[in-house]
Amino acid sequence: MDPETPSIDIPKKAVRALKVRLQVVKKHLEPLLSKPINDVFSKLPVDQRYELEVLLSYSLNTLYYIYLRTQGSDPQKHEVVNELLRVQQYIQKLKKAQGKEAKPTMRVDKDAAARFIKSAISEGASENQKATADKKRKLEETVSISSDEDEDDQPAKKDAFSNHATLFLLSDMA
């Protein structure tokens, strides 16, 4: 292969791929193209007539856009781009009329989510504080009752370990 000659393999693959895609398009258009367009058009319901008109207009303008590109001119500077944009607006209107327009995606309201979380955390904290206070009160009652019983039985003897354990439990709950 000559170093100055560009590789022809890449364009051959692209041409083959284009031919395959064109055959697929032909296959899909065959029922439409096998009869005169007036016969096909007259048998269609109104909404499908609009779809067919928009499809044909978009297809023709797209083909012309591609033709301009193959001829080496810049289609962005040509009027065909404005026509394509206009037809795209009609496509959007048609989709909207049929109820097929793009639905808005779900969005998270970050401020509302933050309020929910803050509220849940504060409710949880207040419930935990109440539960801790109840446990502490019950433990104090239990300790005072047991200490009263201990004083009645043996007023002179107090276990230093039990007092230390009680203080530890009380400080742990706070």
* CA–CA–CA angle 117, 120, 123 (5° rounding): 150
Please, which pLDDT band fits residue 171 given cuts at 50, 70 and 90?
Answer: low
In the prediction, which pLDDT does 168 show? 53
Residue 170 has pLDDT above 60, yes or no: no
Alpha carbon separation from 93 to 19, 48, 103, 127, 162 (Å, rounded): 33, 14, 14, 55, 82
Residue 103 has pLDDT above 90, yes or no: no
Highest mean pLDDT among 98-107, 112-121, 153-162: 112-121
Highest mean pLDDT among 3-7, 98-102, 166-170: 98-102
pLDDT tens for residues 49-94? 898 899 889 999 999 999 999 899 998 999 999 999 999 999 999 8
Query: Distance from first CA to last CA of the chain, Å, rounded?
Result: 87
- DSSP per-residue codes, 106-152: P---HHHHHHHHHHHHHHHHHHHHHHHHHHHHHHHHHHHHHHHHHHH
Higher pLDDT, 157 or 106: 106
Q: Average pLDDT over the chain, rounded to whole?
A: 77
